[in-house]
């Protein structure tokens, strides 16, 4: 649950979301849950629905009569080139453009919006409950207060500054796409529990609660995940038998490496329009 409240005096008076799909709406819910007034936000999206009550919605830029100091881009990366002319009129002079577009570099964004300041951000859906990692990259020549940016984003999760933009595709793969991989692991644990003889409902509940507890312990413990795993493992015991399967030929490590590499490479391809 999101327990961080925003000091309203430090939060921007208005933020425009251009495109507001699952990720954008998760960010909106996280901010509103932290006490940011819904009328702080203006969404421009032809199909967005189920947004927090009180958030202004326009179906096209032609319906918007004002400019914004901050515009958050939540569109598909391959649509940037075609939509940039529609977005540009929304930008006030020296506006800050915050992009959550996978694979889309600050150079590409600056070419689309030459008078804007550019920041790249990669959250995930846990922003809705204040538990998202938030990978943030800003070019060195961007006039930006990191302290202000961190304060705005804090209700959504943990702000992690990225000092080299070359890392952002990997950040997207791990932090942005990662929850889907964990959900698949939870589902696989549930199926494994069923195969071991548990009723589906019991296996599902155990898998979710076990994952929740393990993640919370890893987040709060000074010990590494490797050390925590060793603490659970007795020589010749049940955990050791299971780990022997995961560790055989580095099966789990190899699987995760291939998974994240595929996600990273896909993000770069999407931004280039190099997709089938």
Residue 138: closest CA among 124, 157, 156, 159: 159
State pLDDT tens for residues 153-195. 999 999 999 999 999 999 999 999 999 999 999 999 999 999 9
116 and 92 share a domain? Answer: yes
User: Which residue do the tokens 């959250």 mark?
Assistant: 123
Q: 125 and 248 share a domain?
A: no
pLDDT of residue 135: 96
Instruction: Note whether 252 and 83 are within 8 A (CB).
Output: no
Q: What is the CATH number of the domain that holds 116?
A: 3.40.50.720
Q: Which helix (H) or strand (E) holds 102?
A: none
What is the per-residue pLDDT for 2?
59
Give me the domain span that covers residue 44: 8-169
Strand partners, 122: 135
Tell whether the model's pLDDT for residue 145 goes beyond 90: no
Burial of 209 by CB count in 10 Å (0-12 exposed, 13-18 middle, 19+ buried)? Answer: exposed
Q: Which two tokens stand for residue 85?
A: 């002319």
Q: Residue 143's pLDDT is what? A: 67
Give the pairing of strands 132-137 and 157-161. Answer: parallel
pLDDT, tens digit (0-9, with 9 covering 90-100), for 8-42: 556 888 999 999 999 999 999 999 999 999 999 99
Residue 273: how many other CB atoms lie within 10 Å: 11
Which one-letter DSSP state was computed for residue 60? S
- Contact (Cβ atoms closer than 8 angstroms) between residue 203 and residue 193: yes
In contact, 5 and 34? CB cutoff 8 Å: yes
| Residues 142, 14 share a domain | yes
The answer to whether residue 2 sits within a structural domain is no
Q: How far apart are CA 204 and CA 198, in angstroms?
A: 9
Residues 150, 250, single domain; the answer is: no
Cβ-contact 172, 103 below 8 angstroms: yes
CA distance 263 to 250: 20
Q: Are residues 51 and 123 in the same domain?
A: yes
Domain assignment of residue 276, yes or no: no
Q: Mark whether 115 and 154 lie in a shared domain.
A: yes
Tokens matching residue 36: 């940011």
């Amino acid at each position: 649950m999101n327990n961080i409240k925003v000091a309203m005096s430090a939060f921007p008076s208005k933020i425009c979301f251009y495109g507001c799909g699952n990720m954008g709406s998760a960010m909106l819910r996280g901010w509103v849950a932290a006490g940011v007034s819904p009328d702080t936000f203006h969404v421009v999206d032809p199909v967005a629905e189920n947004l927090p009550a009180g958030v202004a919605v326009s179906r096209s830029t032609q319906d918007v009569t004002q400019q914004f100091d901050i515009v958050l881009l939540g569109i598909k990366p391959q649509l940037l080139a075609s939509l940039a002319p529609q977005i540009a009129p929304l930008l006030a002079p020296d506006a800050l453009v915050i992009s959550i577009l996978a694979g889309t570099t600050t150079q590409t964004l600056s070419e689309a919006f030459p008078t804007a300041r550019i920041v790249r951000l990669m959250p995930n859906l846990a922003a809705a409950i204040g538990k998202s990692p938030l990978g943030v990259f800003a070019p060195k020549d961007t006039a930006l207060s990191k302290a202000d940016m961190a304060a705005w984003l804090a209700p959504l999760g943990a702000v992690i500054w990225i000092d080299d933009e070359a890392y952002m595709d990997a950040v997207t793969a791990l932090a942005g796409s990662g929850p889907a991989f964990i959900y698949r692991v939870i589902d696989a644990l549930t199926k494994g529990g069923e195969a071991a003889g548990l009723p589906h409902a019991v296996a599902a509940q155990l898998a979710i609660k076990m994952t929740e507890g393990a993640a919370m312990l890893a987040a709060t413990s000074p010990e590494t995940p490797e050390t925590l795993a060793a603490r659970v493992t007795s020589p010749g015991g049940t955990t050791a038998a299971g780990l022997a399967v995961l560790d055989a030929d580095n099966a789990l490590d190899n699987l995760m490496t291939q998974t994240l590499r595929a996600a990273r490479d896909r993000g770069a391809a999407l931004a280039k329009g190099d997709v089938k």
